[in-house]
Each structure stands twice: as structure tokens, then as C-alpha cells.
């Protein structure tokens, strides 16, 4: 049960980090405000869709391999700080 709790905490932390990174990357590339009031709805719709796509891409390339590494380490009781540092980047 302790392993499941650790895996859940690690995956939740990865998800929060991925979403935050996606929003910051997207805000840096397109800005945080629409150009005019008429285009506000279109801007926020594209911003939302783009943030989901960016988050899924970041998650697929970063969080998934790290989560697999943590899962293997927890299953085989490998609790080295080097492994966790490698998984966390």
C-alpha cells in the first residue's frame, strides 16, 4: 500500500509539473492577452487547446519515462537518491 501511495504522489507531482511547464512555455511563445476584444474568445480557445497539446507532448517525452523508472525502483526496492535524481531530472 505504501508503494501505491508513493506512485500516486509521484505521478501527481509529474502531472502538476508538466501542466505548469506547458502553460509557461505557451505563455512565453504567444503572450497572455489577445490582440483585441473581438478575438478574445478565439485566442483563449486556441490557448487552451495548445496548452493541452503541449502538456501531453511534454508528459509523453518527460514524465512517462521517469514514471516507469520510479515504478521499477519501487517494485524492486531500489531506493537510491541517484535513481530518484535521474528520474526527476
State pTM to two decimals.
0.42
Each domain of the chain, given as residue ranges in start order, spans: 2-88
pLDDT one-digit tens code per residue, 45-75: 877 787 777 777 777 777 777 777 777 777 7
List of E strands, 1-89: none
- Contacts (Cβ under 8 Å, ≥6 apart) of 75: 3
- With beta carbons less than 8 A apart as the criterion, state whether 73 and 79 touch: yes
Give me the pLDDT at residue 72, please. Answer: 77
Residue 26 and residue 32: Cα distance in Å, rounded? 9
Amino acid at each position: 500500500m505504501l508503494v501505491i501511495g508513493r506512485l500516486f504522489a509521484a505521478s501527481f507531482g509529474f502531472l502538476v509539473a508538466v501542466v505548469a511547464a506547458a502553460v509557461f512555455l505557451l505563455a512565453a511563445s504567444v503572450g497572455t492577452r489577445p490582440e483585441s476584444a473581438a478575438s478574445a474568445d478565439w485566442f483563449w480557445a486556441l490557448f487552451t487547446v495548445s496548452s493541452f497539446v503541449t502538456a501531453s507532448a511534454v508528459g509523453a517525452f518527460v514524465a512517462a519515462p521517469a514514471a516507469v523508472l520510479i515504478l521499477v525502483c519501487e517494485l524492486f526496492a531500489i531506493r537510491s537518491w541517484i535513481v530518484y535524481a535521474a528520474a526527476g531530472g
